[in-house]
Structures are given as structure tokens and as C-alpha cells.
Amino acid sequence: MKNVHIHRCAATTLNKDVLFFRLLNLFTISVSLFFNALWRIRQGDVVLVVTNPPTLPFVAFLACKLRRAELILRIEDVYPDAMVAAGMVKPNSLIVRFLNALHRSLYRHADRVVALGRDMLRLVHRKLGVEATNVSIITNWADSDQIVPLDRNTNPLLEKLGLKGKFVIQYSGNMGRTHDLGVLIRCARSLQQDRAIHFLFIGTGAKELWLRKTTRDLGLENVTILPPQPRTELALSLNACDLSVISFVAGMSGVSVPSRMYNILSAGKPILAIADADSELAHVIREAAVGWLVHPGAEEKAVQAIREAVSNRALLAEMSQRALALVLKKYTKVQVMEQYRILVHGVASSGNFAAKEVP
């Protein structure tokens, strides 16, 4: 890309599964980022920063204040709510109250804040206690130039796995603490007598070892688990199914909006969403009629949805068409980048610029 320069910041890359090493990695990258930011940011610059790693927005905020630059904060995950949902900390603990106070201050003092969905916007407003005028919605986007619907009958991944004749239900992406994989394993167990249905998991994360062990212990022959596939093969892997699943634990509404949703829709795949009813994911599923919505942990409802999908291929085809049409209407990279262009130019040109909220 033209006029894009990448500057890499030195930091430790120790084993993140060891808490001390993970904290050391976070400390070193934070220090490195701060001094790099001080060196490169100039007065009047507009700095766009994300919330991962969680120290990054605070480092960028301090550097911007020192350099008199403008800060746009793009919220990927809302902290400490993501930590609470993952079971890492208790909701009313001292650390949660402290982190809430820090993030409220950050949201108030950032020049603009971008939320990825309506549920996230509501959560940020609830934290602030007011409908802040500096917070707006810009969604994630689909890589619609690369991720397109492909004929499953010629999909090499399905052929390699021997699944061409099966109804394939796919979970693809991070297998983190906030993702409800347990309900999918219970569904697989309930449906294991139906040889025409197969569950395909692609990805890695904190729950991967649990997933592999549980699948092995239960003897689930209708489950296949693969490591993450190369980015160059993402279109093939997302198309290697009939129904895609996005699954969250309860309480994740507003905390995180799944970016994978947009590429799944771009592949023309109906979605079984296991999520809170007021989440952005749920809103999209209901409004566009591109799948099924089930409350977290509701195994029987999930099995019912799967059986309906298996028995109604015409409905799946209609959902597939609506999914692709939705992406082309609202979620292409060009459309979303234009929203960022308007936002950045507005911030650069006027301190009183009102960021446009994208419905």
C-alpha cells in the first residue's frame, strides 16, 4: 500500500502461558511502544489505537497528550468486562473497580471512541453514565474481495477430510475462554447417531486442549479438530461447511463483537449464533434473517436449529443469498474504510467534529 510505513517495536516474546512471562512481555511492549510513540508522533497528528494489548490505549493516550496529538480509540474488547466474562476476575473485586475507573477516564478523554456494534455502544454509555457525544459506531468489515462463496462439492478441504457427503457444522476461529464450546460438544454427543452430521472445529486458543481431550474421552467420531489454516486458504476453510457457528458464553453482549461474522457472511454461510439476545451478532442474525439465534448453553435449542438446517436446504440457500447481499450492502472494506476516512479527516480538521454514527 502507498504511504504506509510499518515500524516494529522491540519487546520480549517469552512463553505467554507462564503468568510472569506474560506480564513481562506486556511490560516490555508497553515501554517500547511508549518511547516509539513519543519519537514518531507530532503535534496535530491523529492517532488511531486499538485496545489490545490492554495497556496500549493508555500508552498512546499519554504520548498523545505529551505531543498534543488527537486520539481515536477503537474498542476491540471492553475491559475489565472481558476478564469478568472469561472468569478471570470477580465482578465486584477491587481490581475490576480500579480498571473500570481507568477505562471510564480513557473513554471520556479520548478525542473519539469507536465501538464495533450497538451493544458495545450501549455498554460504553452505561459505563460513562451518559450518552457521550464522542462515541460512535463503525463496524468491522469482510474481506469480500477474497472471501466469496465456493462450491462445496469441489472443496479440497472437505475432500481431504472425507466430509463431502456430510452436513458439516463448522466452528472457525479463536477457542478462547469467552467462547462456549461446551454446548457444541453436547450437541455433537446428542447427534452422534446421525451419521450424516459432522462437526468441524478449526482454530486454537485457551480451550483447545479441553476440546481435544473431551472429544477423545467421549469417543466422538462425528467431530474433527484442525489447527488454524493459512490466511491464504481462509476462503476454502470458511466454505468447508453447510452451517457456521459463532458461540459465546453468557454475558458477552457489548464486550466483544465477533469480527469473524463478516467473513462468514461473505462466504455466504448461514450462522448458528449462540449469544446474548441483545448482542450485535444477535441483531444481525434477526434483522437480516441469515441464521438461527440460541441463548448460551441452550443445547436443546441448538440441536433443534441444527436439525431444521439439515432438513431445509432451500432455507439454507435463501439465507446464503441474504448473507452475501448483506455484506455487499454494508460490510465491504471500501465502505468501512470510507467511514474511517470521514472520521479521521473530521478529527484532524476540527476539534468540534461530531463523529458520524453508522447505523
User: Mean per-residue pLDDT for 278-286?
Assistant: 98
Q: Is the pLDDT of residue 357 over 60?
A: no
User: In this structure, what are the phi and psi dihedrals at residue 257, rounded to the nearest 5 degrees?
Assistant: -110, 120
356: confidence class by pLDDT, cuts 50, 70, 90: very low
Rg (CA), the chain: 21
237 is a domain residue? yes
Which CATH number is 242's domain given?
Answer: 3.40.50.2000
Phi-psi group of 353: left, alpha or beta (phi > 0 → left; psi -120 to 50 → alpha; rest → beta) = beta
**156 and 255 both lie in a single domain:** yes
Q: Is the pLDDT of residue 355 over 60?
A: no
Instruction: Give the model's pLDDT for residue 179.
Output: 96
C-alpha cell at 236: 476454502
CA distances from 270 to 70, 94, 118, 193 (A): 40, 42, 21, 24
> How many percent of the chain have pLDDT more than 90?
87
User: Mean per-residue pLDDT for 25-29?
Assistant: 93
Is there a contact between 328 and 144 (Cβ–Cβ < 8 Å)?
Answer: yes
188 is a domain residue? yes
34 is a domain residue? no
1 is a domain residue? no
Strand partners, 292: 272
Write the pLDDT tens digit of every residue in 205-256: 989 999 999 999 999 999 999 999 999 999 999 999 999 999 999 999 999 9
- Domain of 168 in residue numbering reads as 152-330
Residues in the chain, total: 359
> How many percent of the chain have pLDDT more than 70?
97
Q: Is the pLDDT of residue 16 over 80?
A: no
146 is a domain residue? no
Number of domains in the chain: 2
Instruction: Give the model's pLDDT for residue 350.
Output: 64
Report which DSSP code applies to 104.
Answer: H
74 is a domain residue? yes
Instruction: Give the model's pLDDT for residue 197.
Output: 98
**202 and 325 both lie in a single domain:** yes
12 is a domain residue? no
**323 and 190 both lie in a single domain:** yes
User: Mean per-residue pLDDT for 5-22?
Assistant: 85
Average confidence score pLDDT of the chain: 93
275 is a domain residue? yes
**308 and 261 both lie in a single domain:** yes
Instruction: Give the model's pLDDT for residue 5.
Output: 86
352: confidence class by pLDDT, cuts 50, 70, 90: very low
Write the pLDDT tens digit of every residue in 150-176: 999 999 999 999 999 999 999 999 999
Global pTM exceeds 0.85: yes
**62 and 160 both lie in a single domain:** no
Write the pLDDT tens digit of every residue in 248-280: 999 999 999 999 999 999 999 999 999 999 999
- Judged on CB neighbours under 10 Å (0-12, 13-18, 19+), 5 is exposed
Instruction: Give the model's pLDDT for residue 86.
Output: 87
Instruction: Give the model's pLDDT for residue 359.
Output: 36
1: confidence class by pLDDT, cuts 50, 70, 90: low
Write the pLDDT tens digit of every residue in 168-198: 999 999 999 999 999 999 999 999 999 999 9
Instruction: Give the model's pLDDT for residue 130.
Output: 74
**271 and 299 both lie in a single domain:** yes
Is there a contact between 158 and 224 (Cβ–Cβ < 8 Å)?
Answer: no
Q: How many Å apart are CA 57 and CA 70, to the nearest integer?
A: 13
**196 and 297 both lie in a single domain:** yes
**87 and 217 both lie in a single domain:** no
Q: Is the pLDDT of residue 307 over 50?
A: yes
- Helix (H/G/I), strand (E/B), else coil: 99: helix
User: Mean per-residue pLDDT for 136-146?
Assistant: 97
**228 and 239 both lie in a single domain:** yes
Q: Is the pLDDT of residue 354 over 90?
A: no
Is there a contact between 119 and 139 (Cβ–Cβ < 8 Å)?
Answer: no
Is there a contact between 196 and 234 (Cβ–Cβ < 8 Å)?
Answer: no
